[in-house]
């Protein structure tokens, strides 16, 4: 009896039929949007971005006027005795109040101007950091989503394999009973069946672990996930030029941009440390009013007002070597930032190279494994026919059958590696965004 083993839905080009009920499942876009709302890492990144936005108004404050009000009120009790003849006793109680308004407007404070430039770079850097977190979330969601699908596929593949081997076992037992086969065929089929049962435990445990990983991102257990429909074929990167992707990554990779921002801030920090030795000029003004209903020497009420405005110059002369030390520290940190920038560029180059090669390799692997699946199934049918005419043993059929399932699993793995590879390649050049998720998600609606 010939049996063609159905292939489960995991990808376009696999020749896999979509499972019943998958249309009602959650798709990648739904999972991603829920992750945007619930993932702790992206929530922390957004909070960091919001905090970074305050750097600019804080630095701007150093360029704007500042004003303060101080006031005090005192009750005074004065008792004195003068030893004369006759003795004189003085007892006075009086109140005193004073209020001062002071204001200052920096005219020349080089450190403050540099700090404002640093804050502008810092805010821009925060945008890059948030984009990195967004890209990381996209990749984490996609990897986990497809890991769940692959684990589910392995369970379904294992179930089909168990049914197929069970039929081979039953046939071996029948053949042994009628004397056309040895007990060896039965034992081999039984061993293969027991191995598949043991493997089933592992595949189900792996599925549970991957579902739990997805739960950690979205905050709940997912429902059934949609699988990829028919009609999609892996494509090579466009343009299919390594130099293009490497050049783009060296300029636009988000981690490179963050490292460049750190270097720019470090350069400005050197300038700011040097500016601590520069004079500062401020426009200052104050107004004071005070009054009392008496004094030590008299009981008369008094009131006075005093205002002043002027320019204040401060010249640092000696700080105990503190400023010189700060300059040396800033220069050393600038050198470190320069090396970090070079490291980020090299990492971006590596990511672009491996991403480009990975997409091309995965695309080729999908096509190769598609053909391998076809060839393996043909080989299986041939071995079954050979078994019927006595030129192939039951073990031959079991081995070829195992090869069919292994090839299908490799094909599914290659397809998912292609999808993740595309996302990683785009992340390496800083262009990965929600639209890329939507592009993949559309393939889940076939």
Between CA 430 and CA 418 the distance in angstroms is: 19
**Residue 80 and residue 125 in one domain:** no
Indicate the pTM of the whole model: 0.82
**What sign does the CA torsion over 428, 429, 430, 431 have?**
negative
**Residue 363 and residue 426 in one domain:** yes
Between CA 382 and CA 256 the distance in angstroms is: 56
**Residue 363 and residue 261 in one domain:** yes
pLDDT number for residue 5:
36
Give me 258's structure tokens: 């963050």
**Residue 261 and residue 146 in one domain:** yes
- Give me the mean pLDDT over the 102-120 stretch: 97
Residue 274 covered by a domain: yes
Q: Which residue has the higher pLDDT, 336 or 382?
A: 336
Between CA 373 and CA 397 the distance in angstroms is: 16
Nearest to 111 by CA among 219, 272, 334, 305: 272
pLDDT number for residue 165:
76
Q: Is the pLDDT at 29 greater than 60, yes or no?
A: yes
Residue 16 covered by a domain: no
Q: Is the pLDDT at 111 greater than 90, yes or no?
A: yes
Residue 127 covered by a domain: yes
Q: Is the pLDDT at 13 greater than 50, yes or no?
A: no
Between CA 367 and CA 365 the distance in angstroms is: 5
Torsion, Cα of 93, 94, 95, 96 (10° steps): -130
**Residue 123 and residue 57 in one domain:** yes
Between CA 261 and CA 259 the distance in angstroms is: 5
**For helices 394-428 and 242-252, what crossing angle results, to 10°?**
50
User: Where does a domain end: 315, 334, 367?
Assistant: 315
Q: What backbone phi and psi angles, to 5 degrees, belong to 145?
A: -60, -50
Which strands, in side-by-side order, build the sheet including 280-292? 66-82, 88-108, 280-292, 302-314
- Number of domains observed in the structure of the chain: 2
**Residue 347 and residue 310 in one domain:** no
At 145-204, the pLDDT tens digits run 999 999 998 898 888 888 877 777 787 788 777 776 678 878 877 887 888 888 889 999
- Give me the mean pLDDT over the 311-334 stretch: 96
Percent of the chain, pLDDT > 70? 92
Q: Which residues contact 20 (CB under 8 A, 6 or more apart)?
A: none
Q: Among 164-173, 247-256, 287-296, 324-333, where is mean pLDDT lowest?
A: 164-173
**Residue 408 and residue 343 in one domain:** yes
Residue 6 covered by a domain: no
- Give me the mean pLDDT over the 293-306 stretch: 85
pLDDT number for residue 391:
74
In this structure, the number of other CB atoms found within 10 A of the CB of residue 4 comes to 8
In this structure, the number of other CB atoms found within 10 A of the CB of residue 285 comes to 15
At 377-414, the pLDDT tens digits run 888 888 888 877 777 766 677 778 778 888 888 888 88
Cβ contact 272:111 at 8 Å: yes
Between CA 94 and CA 86 the distance in angstroms is: 26
User: Where does a domain end: 268, 289, 315?
Assistant: 315
**Residue 382 and residue 396 in one domain:** yes
Residue 3 covered by a domain: no
**Residue 213 and residue 347 in one domain:** yes
Give the CATH number, domain containing residue 54: 1.20.1600.10
Residue 84 covered by a domain: yes
Residue 7 covered by a domain: no
**Residue 323 and residue 340 in one domain:** yes
**Residue 179 and residue 246 in one domain:** yes
Between CA 209 and CA 154 the distance in angstroms is: 14
pLDDT number for residue 24:
58
Give me 384's structure tokens: 């079954």
Average pLDDT of the chain? 88
Q: Is the pLDDT at 4 greater than 70, yes or no?
A: no
End-to-end CA separation in angstroms for the chain: 34
Residues forming beta bridges with residue 92, ordered by sequence position: 78
Q: Is the pLDDT at 259 greater than 70, yes or no?
A: yes
Q: Among 139-148, 151-160, 263-272, where is mean pLDDT lowest?
A: 151-160
At 201-242, the pLDDT tens digits run 999 999 999 999 999 999 999 988 988 766 668 889 999 999
Q: Is the pLDDT at 338 greater than 50, yes or no?
A: yes
Cβ contact 370:15 at 8 Å: yes
Q: Among 56-60, 87-91, 271-275, where is mean pLDDT lowest?
A: 87-91
- Give me the mean pLDDT over the 67-92 stretch: 87
**Residue 299 and residue 409 in one domain:** no
What residues make up the domain containing 88? Answer: 68-108+280-315
Give the largest Cα separation in the chain, rounded. 149
């Amino acid at each position: 009896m010939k049996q063609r083993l159905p292939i489960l839905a995991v990808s376009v080009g696999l020749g896999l039929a979509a499972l019943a009920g998958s249309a009602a499942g959650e798709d990648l876009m739904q999972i991603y949007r829920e992750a945007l709302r619930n993932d702790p890492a992206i929530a922390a990144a957004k909070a960091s971005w919001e905090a970074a936005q305050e750097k600019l108004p804080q630095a701007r404050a150093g360029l704007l006027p500042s004003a303060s009000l101080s006031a005090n009120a005192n009750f005074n009790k004065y008792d004195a005795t003068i030893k004369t003849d006759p003795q004189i006793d003085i007892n006075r109680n009086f109140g005193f109040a004073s209020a001062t308004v002071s204001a200052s407007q920096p005219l020349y404070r080089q450190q403050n101007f540099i700090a404002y430039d640093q804050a502008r770079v810092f805010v821009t850097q925060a945008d890059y950091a948030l984009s990195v977190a967004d890209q990381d979330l996209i990749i984490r969601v996609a990897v986990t989503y497809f890991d769940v699908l692959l684990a589910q596929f392995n369970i379904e593949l294992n179930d089909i394999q168990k049914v197929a081997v069970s039929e081979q076992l039953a046939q071996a037992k029948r053949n042994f009973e009628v004397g056309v086969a040895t007990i060896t065929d039965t034992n081999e089929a039984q061993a293969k069946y027991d191995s598949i049962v043991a493997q089933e435990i592992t595949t189900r445990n792996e599925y549970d672990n991957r579902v739990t990983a997805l739960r950690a991102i979205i905050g709940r257990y997912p429902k059934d996930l949609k699988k990829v429909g028919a009609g999609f074929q892996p494509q090579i990167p466009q343009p299919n030029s390594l130099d293009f992707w490497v050049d783009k990554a060296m300029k636009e990779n988000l981690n490179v941009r963050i490292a460049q921002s750190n270097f720019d801030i470090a350069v400005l920090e050197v300038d700011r440390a040097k500016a601590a030795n520069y004079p500062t000029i401020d426009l200052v003004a104050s107004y004071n009013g005070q009054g009392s209903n008496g004094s030590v020497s008299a009981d008369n009420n008094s009131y006075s007002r005093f205002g002043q405005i002027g320019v204040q110059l401060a010249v640092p002369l000696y700080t105990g070597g503190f400023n010189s030390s700060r300059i040396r520290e800033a220069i050393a940190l600038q050198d470190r930032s320069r090396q970090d920038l070079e490291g980020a560029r090299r990492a971006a180059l590596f990511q672009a190279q491996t991403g480009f090669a990975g997409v091309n390799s995965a695309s080729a692997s999908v096509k190769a494994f598609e053909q391998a699946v076809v060839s393996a199934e043909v080989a299986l049918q041939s071995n079954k026919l050979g078994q019927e005419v006595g030129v192939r043993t039951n073990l031959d059929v079991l081995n070829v059958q195992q090869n069919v399932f292994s090839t299908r699993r490799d094909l599914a793995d290659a397809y998912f590696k292609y999808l993740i590879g595309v996302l990683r390649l785009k992340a390496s050049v800083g262009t990965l965004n929600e639209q890329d998720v939507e592009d993949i998600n559309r393939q889940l609606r076939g």
